[in-house]
Structure 1
Amino acid sequence: MKYRSKLVFLCILVSFLPLSVMGFFCYNQTIKLLRARELSSLESTVTSVSDSLDSKISIYQNLLSYLANSNVLAQFSSYNDANAYDQYEYLNYTMDVFLNATYLQHPEIRQITIYNADGPMTHGKQLRPISDLEGERWYAPYKISTQPTWYKKKDGSLLIIQYLCEPYLTYIRSYSKNYIAIQLNADLFFGDLDRVADNFHIQIDSPSQTLFSYKSDSILENASDFRKWVTRNDLVDSSGWNVTLERPEKMIFASVRQMGRIIIAILFFCVVVIFLITQLFTSFFEQKISALHYYLQRIKEGHLNYHIHDDSKDELGDLTNNLQAMIDEINRLIREDYQTKIELKKTQFKALQAQINPHFLYNCLSLINNKALMNDRPEISQMSQLLSVFYRTTLNKGKSETLLQNEIKNVTSYIDIQRLLHDNIFDVMYQIDPNLPEIEVPNLLLQPLVENSIIHGILPNKTKRGQLFVTVTNVMGQIYFTIMDNGVGIPQEKLSTLLTTDSSGYGLKNVHDRLILAYGEGSGLTINSIPGQSTMITFKVPV
């Protein structure tokens, strides 16, 4: 990612994270409060309906109890066996007058009816035989009691009914087999529930049947869309009715979903604003960074003739101005030292090239090898072949790095040359891992170390036959090198300075410095020596 992209991402992340956390919290809390409010409103509605019904029911139940216990109506059964005149006088001037007064006080009552079980006497709709009730599906004698009970008739009207009292007999209230019932218009009785039931399904159930059920038009029109309903129930204390209020969850939480969409829209708007502000904010920094990056790329390519300056007092301004100071210093150093050294190196290199012509050398060695073979001089042929291998791996086409296998060829050819030169006065033992990886190492690492062991260790020791050990092993991703001899050793006072000062004839510091330059601290030479007995040089390079 580019710096600007990282800065934009960081700014958006830092701002969006708290915004999303707070937005998520507010969204959940708002939705929770709205849902609680809607459910509380639903429960409040069903409680209100229940209380309203309880009040109405109490009025009519009290009225029915009053009528059932009135002496005027309780004595009608005694007229079943009276003569026609007495019956007429009682029915028209006593019972009708009493009931008409009740109608005047309660105009919502459709009909008050006494059902006669003691005789055949009837009087319009106000006195009927019990057989009139036998056509009702709910009717059974055991369903009538001394307390008011509610039923719904086939014509849809409400009926509240109970036993009629007998006349008082010495302070004991008894009930006859006659019934008294008040018939009410159900639409008037439940009429106000239609307004309550907007977007509701409301149902009133008595212990034995459903008395009222209503669904609003909006629910009926979209019934197929409503799969989940929220239901609340409440019991009417005075009658045992169960009030059920249902509403589609989709309708209840419509406002909740609307508020959720508004909150999400606000959060999205905030994210867009944050993104735009971040773009404007980062473009200012990106311009400076891009300019600085451009100059650094040009400097990397070697163009050191730029002059840059930033008037800003912030860190970027200081960095830009310090970069210019660094460029000026580099230019000064180049002028004073670098160019001079480069020219010197070029001159030295050309001199070496003039002295050593690899092709000429190889051709000469090849000619010597051929002449030696033609004249049956194998030792001369062997020497020419070893010199060819040695110089080819040493020169390495002018490269500073070579394959590990070529480095090993170089040192083995050098050792063989030294053995031929000194009439095999020392033995050599190799322990070289056959499965070494094909890696590149700095050129001429082993030859100076072997040369040091032969020239300064083995040859000066005239008391015993020389032994040279060369070990190259691969252990856990590290190539370990060991050069050991049984020569004269190195005095302790000289050993401590071999790797810190230039010493002609040894070349150890050169190899040590090149190893540290290539592989870092810890990869240099380790020298252990016992004066008069042996010297061991070790180092390692990573695979």
Structure 2
Amino acid sequence: MKRAITELFNRLRFKHKLFLSYLIVIIIPIIVLGVYAYKQSEQMLKIQGIGGIEKNVDTISGGINGSIERYNHSVQTIVYNKTFQKIVTNDYRDLVNLSYDLKEYLSPYFTMMTNLDKEIDEIKFYTQTYVPEYGESVQLASRVSEEQWYKEALKGTGSQWFSDNGIIVVSKFPQFSNDKDTNIVYMRINEASLFNNVAALAKDDTVIITDKQGRIIYSNQQASAAADKPVLNTAQLSALKEGVIDFGGAKSYLVKKPVALTDWTIYCIVPAAQLTQNAGSIINATLIIIALCILIVLIIIWIFSKTMLRRVLSLNSLMKRVEIGDLSMRVRSESKDEIGELTNRFGSMLIRLNEVIDELFRNKIVQKEAEFKALQWQMNPHFLYNTLSFINWKALRSDAHDISHVVTTLSKFYRTGLNRGDNIIPVQDELEHVRCYIEIIQTMRENSFDVVYDIDEAVFGYKTINFILQPLAENAIIHGINRKESGRGVLRITAELSGGKVVFTVEDNGNGMPPEAAKTLLESQSSGYGLKNVKERLQLKFGSDYSIVVESEVDQGTRMKIAIPA
């Protein structure tokens, strides 16, 4: 029904909606005043009185429910805690680990809960497993096996509430397929704190709360007895029916209300004379209703006016977001009027615009991948490997082991770099690729500089695009170490996990450069495969947030960083 009315309203034109809004504004006060005048004399006192009682009982029930829900949550947090499940099932190889969890986890946790919530008097586990007892916190179930609440708790599910010289809530730990033992968390709640707001809300009313067995767990009948009201026992209370009753020789109203989260029942008894003592006259009530109707009329007019403008303002807001570059949103309206048509046309235009941009972006990626593939396969890999193998064999026969080492390293360099045409390789292979390059350069330069590797082996479990570290190392050697005027050059290669990213760092102790020169390295196109190419490939693969960061100061060396998502 509601959906049909909404669809009909959406199909109406703007002028029809405006006419309908004025019509409703006129009819509502007439209907409200007419119905009220007819029902006033008959229902005024009864509705006011019973409504007040029910509201008061609802408030009491709501307050108790709030507290019960909070403690249910606390208990369920405990039973689904993996460490606590491990403790009660004694899932340990030795007592050392059990003792550690008891002292360093369970005790501080219980202490924290009782300190944060003063209404919690006690928390403990009752276990059927062979867990050693630990003070008052962990005890064997045999201690309470004959208690009535314990027998009922074994049959129930979820959080269960009982009255056992006070108010307690218990819950069973989850049992798995091979688990025959039942373990229970037991929490005792301070009764006075749990029901502290009942007395204040009850005032002069008689309020009694019973559990599912009909036993009284709370009552303010002591105050009722002092006011010469009768004191009801369990049998008398269960015989009462909701509505008008005879309570101590006087006509009274009884309201029953179940507590939603437990099997408790709230009984509230109010004398009939108390309900009528503050009743107003029909004239005063009529004036109040008229004032309320006028207020409602004003509110409805304001709501309708704002409704008409809200979608226009919303569409304007969406256009502003598109204006500043946010093209990812989806715009759609179910309304059939002019504003809805305008909104849907704007949404269709935005979808088409995104399709065009996506198509251009994909073409750019394809172009860059094609250029990189062409760079990889400029030389024939099989011919290259065969030639290097032949040179290595000749070098070994001639006892030229240094030449053999260079050739073997060069072969490994190209093998890890080309990677059979794939541009996604393990991080370990990319690090091996740059290591081979540096070894070749060191051999060619007669080890004129030192290399330090600081590699966290945790990065070996991830992958990256290839050919991103060798250009950095090449730039560090050419523009940093080779230009160092004094002292021995040092090249440092670092790889680590940081903030969900794999971070590579290439650092040299060369002469450094001013910030303008460092920026030029990333913007200019070199004759070979330079830093600009690496930067573009990183941004194409991982997004504009990922690039090369160059940090350099004159006479302080240069540090280049690359971060990729782990």
**How high is the TM-score relative to the length of structure 1?**
0.39
**How high is the TM-score relative to the length of structure 2?**
0.37
Larger Cα-atom Rg: 1
